[in-house]
A and B are shown apart, each in its own frame.
Chain A
Amino acid sequence: QKEVEQDPGPLSVPEGAIVSLNCTYSNSAFQYFMWYRQYSRKGPELLMYTYSSGNKEDGRFTAQVDKSSKYISLFIRDSQPSDSATYLCAMNTVGTSYGKLTFGQGTILTVHP
């Protein structure tokens, strides 16, 4: 079993839709949670960074963390064609190498006009 599982699989939505992306994890030591966006032929770009359980909002993006359920989510409101990319969840533990992130396998999102 992978430490981090990401769903859904490839997602295609119309412009303006609300998108929900999710990850579950098995390692209760994970304390830092991130969402990255990766465009084709580019490196991942940090979108959201959270530490505690609860919600964090930044513009059209909301990150949600539920440590008791070992579940994190990213919501995108009013999705745009420019949001079409691969979304990766990532997490880290306290006290380990800061650069050692464990990633999910990614969700490919397509927003069509």
Chain B
Amino acid sequence: ETGVTQSPTHLIKTRGQQVTLRCSSQSGHNTVSWYQQALGQGPQFIFQYYREEENGRGNFPPRFSGLQFPNYSSELNVNALELDDSALYLCASSWGGEKLFFGSGTQLSVL
């Protein structure tokens, strides 16, 4: 068990809606990263937060946004949902290093 917890585990939304996904980092970890994993593909980097600031972003539009809180927990927000946003969203935490520890993810379905 990695200690990274995500909620909810499953979510169904309709196109155009907004969604918030939550992540609690493993104890002692100060960096959180978010990934999108489409079916049959490897995870794709969305962004990373360190000390409550965005610290690196992948090729995702601004409607993907995030927050990191003082206790190192994090949120991923997606506005104006599109059908292609249907995927497994993974949160990973680390202590400022390359070894990431992933949660089990939130499965988002957009109808």
Chain A contact residues, CB within 8 Å of chain B: 4, 6, 32, 34, 36, 41-46, 49, 88, 90, 92, 96-106
Contact = CB atoms under 8 A, between A and B. Distances in A.
Contacts, number: 74
B92 A99 contact: yes
Contacts of A102: 45
Given A97-B56, A98-B31, A42 B92 contact: no
B97 A98 contact: yes
A6 B43 CA distance: 13
Nearest to B31: A99
Contacts of B44: 103
B33 interface: yes
Nearest to B42: A103
21 contacts: A36-B102, A41-B104, A43-B92, A43-B102, A43-B104, A43-B105, A46-B99, A46-B100, A46-B101, A92-B98, A96-B56, A98-B97, A98-B98, A99-B33, A99-B56, A99-B100, A100-B33, A101-B33, A101-B98, A102-B45, A105-B40
